């Protein structure tokens, strides 16, 4: 964790949508990237449900329906998957609730639920300021404040320390309340405290930690409840315990419980002599408790002044939500004076990264040309950008490119919530992908094995066997996933497939390397097409189909027509292949990757990049990237070098957030294209017929001469593949000039079902010209989750 002086708070600005009015006593939970807020009060109790999308920086009001609960404040609010439970709270001044509501956030449907009462004892009484914590299929209710008077205008407070367990049904509904028998000393009665549940990784039982609260005076005690033995204890802690407080927040990220804000005593007041009469004030102090070592660490002390408005101002009754390793804070009140009987609520939204981001996935290849790569990597949640680096065995030489084209990026502060272009530094590309989640399937390799005696159908005249290349770099092939067509009319949708332009020689060579060399994959995105006029990359879909499309502005776009009915996703990948014999001789080829200096390609806001150049390191420098608490490098002062045809390049990427640059990904290696070889076949189509299936394709969009023949291959079952499922064995099922073939039921009976991602039958198709075979298009025909024979 960064030192207190280095905390990098961010105030979110420029958001869109209906921003909720400022308030306190509200509650919030997170569902993936969404922060969902309910209740609270400020000039009346709020009854709306507000949602903030942390990725798009948008507020919105979902159209809720069903048994919509009344507005409430200081209530219990927990999230179990995509359902949210609300219990109790103040519904109007002096009137508290003990009702339970469930919200199915996938449908924005409210439902009032009635749990069974405990087998012995009464159900929880109406209350506010209680804690309501979820672990597994149970919610744990502790403490709160009740009104002893039946007249809501005559408030007679009673602090509670009762403890209830609420068992949930799977998915929706509840079973009922129970009152567990606990051991040890029970914490004193309190309200406006916090309770979190934490379980050590791989060991230990889950424990609930209760901190602070109010019982006539503010509290600073810490209690622990072992949820297996139901034993209360008071753990001994190290470090500086935060000041007594109530109306604060506690959030768990990793093994740390972060405490922020709340009401604390005025400086210099003796709270022991006059605990009930002294004035209280809000704080912006920030600490965490290491739940493994029971040690407190102060990140922002109560005495630290903030003259630059660089962090949230003091507040209480706010909400805090953890999304990934980032903490979001919204609203709350910033003070209360008895003499004035007034309070002011904050309107601001802040976030803080609590640690550096994790390493992204390996860089994956979308497309290669003779002098560029289109690459991507999996998104990392709640980051502000990505640093992409490469190295190569070729000597670094500056190009004649005008380096002044790079803007001066020194001092740039990255804000993912600010609207604008994808590019933060040169070589970034606009986000041409649709804003949707992506999925990837690993493509395993093949190498040629001649004279293998395999029992296959008569027209199988070639077999490819997969093994890992020891010195393989990347020629590239395309991979596309298809859902098997099971019913419905024979319609088709064009799905974009991006291919690269490298050779396969006279047969398809090894197309896989280990993860330390390359695991090149391609991003696709999901989009629902609902109208006849809707198109994806020029394709028109005539029925409502949920499918995956690829859209890009790359130079060579090739499309793949697939059966639209029952298509739910299509995945496009590129796979690594060895250098061809025409690779230029390289005196540095024996140098290890770690011995070469890494050069920056640039800093990218999104997880895609078009790479045609990289920045050269100044002499004597090991790295030019300084991000986080130092300046962004000034790329305009650096020389650039172009990518060279037929050359291997190693890539790695790291994510960036307010704490700085995280660890780099594993290394991927790709090779730029060698001119002259045909591109990958496109527009692959699979349909059933009486003999088996009909497999067809279109010629490469860049044939680079006359196409002499095509070869199609099917991954088949073997004893070896059962021992090592990652090594596919391919049997050639077609070789000829036609752009289609029949795959018989007998051949399909020998098909291997690949489970590296989703179950699929794997085909590969490649084209050959005068120079040799080009890259293969790999097609994964998705089979569902059963292990039945294909075509069943």
Per-residue pLDDT reduced to its tens digit, 200-237:
987 789 999 999 999 989 999 999 999 999 999 999 99
| CA–CA distances in Å: residue 208 to residues 165, 181, 327, 603 | 12, 15, 20, 42
* Per-residue pLDDT reduced to its tens digit, 656-706: 999 999 999 999 888 887 788 888 788 889 998 888 999 999 998 788 899
Lookup result for tokens 């029971």: 294
DSSP-H helix ranges across 472-628:
none
Angstrom distance (rounded) from CA 208 to CA 140: 9
Q: Nearest-CA neighbor of 666 among 358, 361, 357, 356?
A: 361
CA 790/CA 792 separation, integer angstroms: 5
Q: Which residue has the higher pLDDT, 153 or 186?
A: 186
pLDDT class of 62 with cuts at 50, 70, 90: very high
Structure tokens at 477: 């092939």
Residue 469 has pLDDT above 60, yes or no: no
Which token pair is 200? 């050590």
Q: Is the pLDDT score of 112 beyond 60?
A: yes
Residue 5 has phi, psi (to 5 degrees) of -75, -15
Q: Distance between alpha carbon 543 and the CA centroid of its chain, in Å?
A: 31
* Residue 415 scores a pLDDT above 50: no
Q: What is the pLDDT of residue 65?
A: 97
Q: Which phi-psi region, left, alpha or beta, contains residue 791 (left: φ > 0; alpha: ψ -120 to 50)? A: left
CA-CA distance, 388 to 161, in Å (whole number)? 53
Distance CA 423, CA 609 (A): 9
Residue 502 confidence class, pLDDT cut points 50, 70, 90: very low
Which helix (H) or strand (E) segment is 720 a member of?
helix 719-723
Residue 755: per-residue pLDDT: 80
Q: What is the pLDDT of residue 338?
A: 52
Q: Which CATH number fits domain 15-267+278-353: 2.60.120.10, 1.25.40.10, 3.40.630.30, 2.120.10.80?
A: 2.120.10.80
Please give the pLDDT value at position 726.
59
Other C-beta atoms lying within 10 Å of the C-beta of residue 216: 11
Helix (H, G, I), strand (E, B) or coil at 607: coil
Say if 15-267+278-353 and 356-393+597-617+638-674 have the same CATH topology.
no
Summarize the chain as % helix, strand, coil (round to 5).
Answer: 5, 40, 55
Region 33-43: what's the mean pLDDT?
94
Rounded mean pLDDT, 493-497: 28
Q: What is the dihedral of CA 135, 141, 143, 145, to 10 degrees?
A: 130
410 pLDDT band, cuts 50/70/90, is: very low
In this prediction, residue 7 has a pLDDT band, given cuts at 50, 70 and 90, of: confident
118: its two tokens: 């405990």
pLDDT band at 775 (very low <50, low <70, confident <90, very high): confident
Strand positions, DSSP E, 152-245: 157-168, 174-178, 194-198, 207-214, 218-226, 231-233
Model pLDDT for residues 308-363, shown as the tens digit of each residue: 788 999 999 999 999 999 999 999 998 655 555 566 899 999 999 999 999 998 89
What is the sign of the dihedral through the CA atoms of 201, 203, 207 and 212? negative
pLDDT at 97 over 80: yes
- Percent of all residues in the chain with a pLDDT value above 70, rounded to a whole number: 67
Greater pLDDT, 462 or 71: 71
Q: Is 74 exposed, middle or buried (0-12, 13-18, 19+ CB in 10 A)?
A: buried
CA atoms of 488 and 475, how far apart (whole Å)? 38
Give me the mean pLDDT over the 251-269 stretch: 88
pLDDT tens sequence across 355-405: 999 999 889 877 777 888 889 898 998 999 999 999 998 776 665 444 333
Q: How many of the other CB atoms lie within 10 Å of CB of 588?
A: 11
**Which of 508, 555, 513 has the alpha carbon at shortest distance from 670?**
513
Q: How far apart are CA 413 and CA 36, in angstroms?
A: 28
The DSSP symbol for 722 reads: H
Arch. (CATH architecture) of 356-393+597-617+638-674: Sandwich (2.60)
Q: How high is the pLDDT of residue 628?
A: 47
**CA–CA separation, 328 vs 84, rounded Å?**
19
Q: How far is CA 425 from CA 406, 407, 428, 429, in A?
A: 7, 7, 6, 10
The helix or strand, by DSSP H or E, that contains position 746, with its residue range, turns out to be: helix 745-749
Residue 304: the pLDDT is 79
Burial of 593 (0-12, 13-18, 19+ CB in 10 A): middle
Contacts of 403 (CB under 8 A, 6+ apart): 636, 637, 638, 639, 640
> How far is the CA of 210 from the CAs of 53, 225, 619, in angstroms?
30, 8, 56
pLDDT at residue 573 is higher than 90: no
Determine the Cα angle at 325 with ends 319 and 329, to 5°: 20
- Read off the DSSP letter of residue 403: G
C-alpha–C-alpha distance, residues 91 and 70, integer Å: 7
pTM of the model: 0.68
The DSSP letter of residue 1 is -
Contact 373, 643 (CB under 8 A): yes
Phi-psi region of 687 (alpha: psi -120 to 50; beta: other; left: phi over 0): beta
The predicted model gives 124-130 an average pLDDT of: 97
Task: Tell whether the torsion through CA atoms of 450, 453, 454 and 456 is positive or negative.
Answer: positive
What is the tens place of the pLDDT at every residue in 620-669? 665 555 554 445 678 888 899 999 988 899 999 999 999 999 999 999 88
Is it the case that residue 488 has pLDDT exceeding 70? no
**Confidence class for position 542, pLDDT limits 50, 70, 90:** very low
Mean pLDDT for the stretch of residues 416-434: 35
8 Å CB contact between 218 and 271: yes
pLDDT category of residue 197 using cuts at 50, 70 and 90? very high
Tokens (6 digits) for 304: 């630290």
- Residue 636 pLDDT: 85
Q: Which residue has the higher pLDDT, 686 or 548?
A: 686
Q: For the segment 155-180, what is each residue's pLDDT rounded down to a tens digit?
A: 889 999 999 999 999 999 999 999 99
Which residues contact residue 450 at a Cβ distance below 8 angstroms, ignoring those fewer than 6 apart?
none
pLDDT tier at 300, thresholds 50, 70, 90: very high
Residue 541: band (very low, low, confident or very high) from pLDDT cuts 50, 70, 90: very low
DSSP 369: -
Summarize pLDDT for 440-449 with one digit per residue, the tens.
332 333 333 3
Determine the pLDDT at residue 110.
98
Q: Which residues pair with 29 in a beta bridge?
A: 36
* Tokens of residue 308, six digits: 């630059």
- Of 14, 50, 54, the closest CA to residue 381 belongs to 54
- Kindly report the average pLDDT of the chain as a whole number: 75
For 38-72, the DSSP string reads: E--BSSSB---EEEEETTTTEEE----EESPPPP-
Residue 556 has pLDDT above 60, yes or no: no
| Contacts made by residues 685-690, CB under 8 angstroms, sequence distance 24+ | 685/492, 685/560, 685/561, 685/562, 685/563, 686/482, 686/484, 686/485, 686/562, 686/563, 686/779, 686/781, 687/485, 687/490, 687/563, 688/485, 688/791, 689/742
As a whole number of Å, the CA-based R_g of the chain is 31
Please give the residue that has the higher pLDDT: either 232 or 778: 232
C-alpha to C-alpha distance for 753 and 235, rounded to whole angstroms: 53
Is it the case that residue 777 has pLDDT exceeding 50?
yes
Residue 385 CA from chain centroid, whole number: 14
Place of tokens 């990347």: 474
Nearest to 101 by CA among 115, 116, 111, 91: 111
Asked if residue 519 has pLDDT above 60, the reply is no
Task: With a cut of 70, say whether residue 552 has pLDDT above it.
Answer: no
What number is the average pLDDT over the span 708-718?
93
Confidence band for 728, pLDDT divided at 50, 70 and 90: confident
Question: Between residues 718 and 36, which one has the greater pLDDT?
Answer: 36
At 780, the pLDDT band (50, 70, 90 cuts) reads confident
Is residue 192 within 8 A of residue 247, CB to CB? The reply is yes
Residue 110 vs residue 589, higher pLDDT: 110
Domain boundaries, the chain: 15-267+278-353, 356-393+597-617+638-674, 685-782
> In terms of pLDDT, which residue wins out, 346 or 428?
346
Most confident stretch, 209-213, 459-463, 525-529, 680-684: 209-213
Whole-number pLDDT of residue 308: 73
With 60 as the cut, is the pLDDT of residue 407 above it? no
For 181, the token pair is 């028998």
Q: Look up the CATH number of domain 685-782.
A: 2.60.40.10
Whether residue 183 is predicted with pLDDT greater than 90 in this model: the reply is yes
Supply the DSSP symbol for 208. Answer: E
Q: With cut-offs at 50, 70 and 90, classify the pLDDT of residue 305.
A: confident
């Amino acid at each position: 964790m960064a030192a207190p002086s280095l905390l990098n708070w961010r105030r979110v600005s420029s958001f869109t949508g209906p921003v909720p009015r400022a308030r306190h006593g509200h509650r919030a939970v997170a569902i993936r990237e969404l922060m969902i807020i309910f209740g609270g009060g400020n000039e009346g109790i709020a009854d709306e449900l507000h949602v903030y999308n942390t990725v798009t920086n948008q507020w919105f009001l979902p159209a809720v329906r069903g048994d919509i609960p009344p507005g409430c404040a200081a209530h219990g609010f927990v999230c179990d998957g995509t359902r949210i439970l609300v219990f109790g709270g103040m519904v109007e001044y002096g009137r508290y609730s003990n009702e339970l509501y469930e919200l199915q956030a996938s449908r924005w449907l409210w439902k009032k639920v009635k749990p069974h009462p405990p087998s012995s004892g009464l159900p929880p009484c109406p209350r506010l300021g209680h804690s309501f914590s979820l672990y597994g299929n149970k919610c744990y209710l502790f403490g709160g404040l009740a009104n002893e008077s039946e007249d809501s205008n005559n408030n007679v407070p009673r602090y509670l320390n009762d403890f209830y367990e609420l068992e949930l049904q799977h998915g929706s509904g509840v079973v009922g309340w129970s009152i567990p028998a606990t051991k040890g000393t029970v914490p004193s009665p309190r309200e406006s405290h916090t309770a979190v549940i934490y379980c050590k990784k791989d060991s230990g039982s889950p424990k609930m930690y209760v901190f602070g609260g109010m019982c006539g005076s503010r509290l600073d005690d810490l209690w622990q409840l072992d949820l297996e033995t139901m034993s209360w204890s008071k753990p001994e802690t190290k470090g500086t315990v935060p000041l007594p407080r109530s109306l604060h927040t506690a959030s768990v990220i990793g093994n740390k419980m972060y405490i922020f804000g709340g009401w604390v005593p005025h400086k210099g007041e003796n709270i022991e002599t006059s605990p009930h009469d002294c004035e209280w004030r809000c704080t912006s102090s920030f600490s965490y408790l290491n739940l493994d070592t029971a040690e407190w660490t102060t990140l922002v002390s109560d005495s630290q002044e903030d003259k630059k408005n660089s962090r949230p101002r003091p507040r209480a009754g706010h909400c805090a939500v953890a999304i990934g390793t980032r903490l979001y804070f919204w609203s709350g009140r910033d003070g209360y004076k008895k003499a004035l009987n007034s309070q002011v609520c904050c309107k601001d939204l802040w976030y803080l990264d609590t640690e550096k981001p994790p390493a992204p996935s390996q860089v994956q290849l979308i497309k290669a040309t003779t002098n560029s790569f289109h690459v991507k990597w999996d998104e990392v949640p709640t980051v502000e950008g990505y640093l992409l680096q490469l190295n190569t065995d070729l000597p670094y030489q500056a190009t004649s490119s005008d380096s002044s084209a790079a803007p001066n990026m020194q001092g740039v502060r990255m804000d993912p919530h600010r609207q604008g272009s994808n590019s933060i530094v040169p070589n970034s590309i606009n986000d041409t992908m649709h804003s949707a989640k992506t999925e990837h399937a690993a493509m395993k390799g093949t190498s040629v094995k001649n004279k293998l005696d395999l029992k296959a159908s008569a027209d199988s005249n070639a077999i490819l066997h997969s093994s890992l290349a020891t010195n393989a770099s990347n020629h590239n092939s395309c991979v596309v996933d298809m859902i098997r067509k099971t019913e419905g009319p024979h319609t088709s949708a064009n799905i974009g497939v991006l291919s690269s332009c490298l050779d396969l020689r006279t047969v398809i060579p090894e197309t896989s390397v280990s993860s330390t060399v390359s695991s090149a994959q391609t991003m696709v995105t999901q989009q629902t097409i609902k109208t006849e006029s809707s198109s994806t990359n020029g394709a028109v879909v005539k029925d409502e189909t949920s499918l995956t499309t690829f859209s890009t502005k790359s130079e060579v776009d090739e499309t793949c027509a697939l059966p639209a009915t029952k298509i739910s996703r299509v995945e496009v990948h590129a796979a690594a292949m060895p250098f061809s014999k025409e690779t230029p001789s390289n005196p540095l080829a024996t140098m290890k990757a770690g011995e070469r200096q890494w050069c920056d390609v640039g800093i990218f806001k999104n997880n895609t990049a078009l790479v045609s150049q990289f920045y050269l390191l100044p002499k004597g420098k090991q790295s030019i990237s300084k991000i986080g608490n130092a300046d962004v490098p000034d790329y305009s002062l650096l020389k650039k070098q172009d990518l060279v045809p037929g050359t291997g390049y190693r890539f790695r990427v790291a994510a960036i957030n307010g704490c700085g640059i995280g660890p780099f990904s594993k290394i991927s290696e790709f090779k730029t294209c060698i001119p002259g070889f045909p591109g990958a076949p496109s527009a692959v189509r699979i349909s059933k017929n009486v003999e088996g299936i009909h497999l067809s394709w279109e010629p490469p969009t860049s044939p680079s001469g006359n196409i002499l023949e095509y070869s199609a291959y099917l991954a088949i079952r073997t004893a070896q593949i059962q021992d090592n499922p990652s090594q596919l064995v391919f049997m050639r099922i077609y070789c000829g000039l036609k752009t289609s073939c029949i795959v018989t039921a007998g051949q399909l009976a020998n098909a291997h079902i690949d489970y590296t991602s989703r179950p699929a039958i794997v085909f590969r198709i490649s084209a050959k010209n005068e120079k040799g075979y080009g890259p293969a298009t790999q097609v994964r025909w998705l089979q569902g989750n059963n292990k039945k024979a294909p075509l069943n």
